[in-house]
A = this chain, B = another copy of it.
Amino acid sequence: MDTINRQFRLAARPVGLPKDTDWELTSEPVPDPADGQVVVAVEYISLDPAMRGWMTDRRSYIPPVAIGEVMRALAGGRVLASNHANLEPGEHVTGVLGVQEYAVVDAQAVTKVDTTQASLPMYLNTLGMTGMTAYFGLLDVGRPEAGQTVVVSGAAGAVGGLAGQIAKLKGCRTVGIAGGEGKCAHVVADLGFDAAIDYRSEDVTAQLRRHCPNGIDVYFDNVGGSILDAALANLALHARVVICGAISQYNNTGPPTGPANYLSLLVNRASMTGFIVMDYQARYQEGMREMAGWLAQGKLTSREDVAAGFETFPATLNRLFRGENTGKLVLKV
């Protein structure tokens, strides 16, 4: 094809917060699709905290992005050309398309989505991996029961905001932890949490004690660090701590801070469990159907924070780590 594809490639393994020099912006012609492949014009790129982990050369649940490789990212776009019977030009798809303007991928590696039902950013958010992470992490790992107290960190973020809303739909008292007055107001007013704690200006341990007088039954953690410790200090008997992420630790140059209060697990006969959303692939249909139903009934707010300009990718990604996004951060290409 004649079209030129711009791509962000990993130029160096970041130390701490990724720097501009950790990226290389390259251009190359879009290759012709092989049999079974499609060419997708990428329209929205999902920016996720997990991307920081993919940049580090360490054994994890998937291999790291290699130096010189196009940065891995979930994204959504429009099919430009297709060599597969199941996809037509003009249709929309989501998948691991990478941080680039055009992706040539196997048709079977992408998911067709109906943009008359929901926007492409929503398919990257509530109706995509983000939504599935909140749904299965909360319900399957956290197992909240009606009447219990659920605390969510990163509550103004993409996964946290959904996890708290789902907890509320299941009849739980929900308390969110977020950074700043504006985010805390959003969490209560727009997302319907019962209370919010501003970790930038409040004593999280004391506020958790105040808002959770009977202790925390489910703590859904997206942040790690001192906030995880504050939650551990306030567990109820038989509490479940769900380890979804630890964004406060991802740019540490030393080892992460371990939770000093982990012996609260013993005192409270509690558990701390990690999960990876990809393990729930066989049940995505179930999760999508329920999330779509709640959206249609107006019971769930899908909040996207759309940044524009492909070339802003390095700076926009870092907004996640600085806590500057509210809702799901996506980059409009």
Contacts and interface: CB of A to CB of B under 8 A. Distances in A.
A259 interface: yes
A115 interface: no
Contact of A262 (B59, B243, B268, B279): B243
Contact of A258 (B259, B268, B279): B259
B279 A274 contact: no
Interface stretch (A164-172, A249-257, A313-321): A249-257
Nearest to A255: B260
A85 interface: no
Interface in A254-277: 255-276
A265 B273 contact: yes
A272 B271 contact: yes
A266 B274 CA distance: 4
A84 B268 CA distance: 36
B262 A269 contact: no
Contact of A271 (B262, B263, B266, B273): B273
A86 to B, nearest CB: 32
Contacts of A258: 229, 257-262
Please tell me how many copies of the chain the complex holds: 2
A185 interface: no
Interface of A: 59-61, 224, 229, 243-246, 249, 255-276, 279
A5 to B, nearest CB: 32
A246 B274 CA distance: 21
B269 A271 contact: no
B265 A246 contact: no
A279 B238 CA distance: 11
Nearest to A261: B258
Contacts of A244: 266
A223 to B, nearest CB: 12
Contact of A266 (B261, B265, B268, B275): B275
Nearest to A268: B274
Nearest to A270: B274
A282 B228 CA distance: 33
A260 B228 CA distance: 13
Contact of A243 (B229, B245, B266, B273): B266
Given A249-B263, A258-B259, A259-B262, 15 more contacts: A59-B267, A224-B263, A256-B260, A257-B258, A257-B260, A258-B258, A258-B261, A259-B259, A263-B274, A267-B274, A269-B279, A270-B273, A271-B271, A271-B274, A272-B273
Contact of A276 (B229, B256, B264, B266): B266
Given A258-B261, A262-B243, A262-B262, A267 B60 contact: yes
A274 B272 CA distance: 9
Contacts of A275: 266, 269
